[in-house]
Amino acid sequence: MKRFVDNANPSYFVIDVPQRFFTIRRSAKGDLPDAQTGQGRRGGTIFTAGDMSKAEVVAVERYEGLLHLHVAFWHLLRFMRPKL
C-alpha cells in the first residue's frame, strides 16, 4: 500500500491505495468543486486512484455536510408522511 496525503491547505483526506494504483489529485482552478455548490467542471471528485487494467477505481468526492443532511431530512419526511 502507498499512502496519499492531500496537499490542499487544509488537508481534506489521507488515503492508502495499492502500490500499483495511479493517483490523480485535481488541483487546477477549473477542476476543483466550487466551495458554495460542491460542483465543478469534473463534478464533486477531488481525487481518483485506480488500476485501469482491472477496472478498479477509487474516488474521493467533496460534498458539503449540510447538503447530505438536507437530502437525508427530505427523504425522512417523504417516507414518514401519512399515506392518503
**Cβ neighbours around 46 below 10 Å, total:** 22
The DSSP 8-state label assigned to residue 34 in this structure reads P
- What is the pLDDT at residue 30? 62
Q: CA triplet 47, 9, 43: central angle to 5 degrees?
A: 30
- What is the pLDDT at residue 16? 95
Omega before residue 10 within 30° of 0, cis:
yes
Show the cell assigned to 69.
Answer: 443532511
Residue range 65-84, pLDDT digits in tens: 677 778 888 888 888 776 65
State the pTM of this model: 0.59
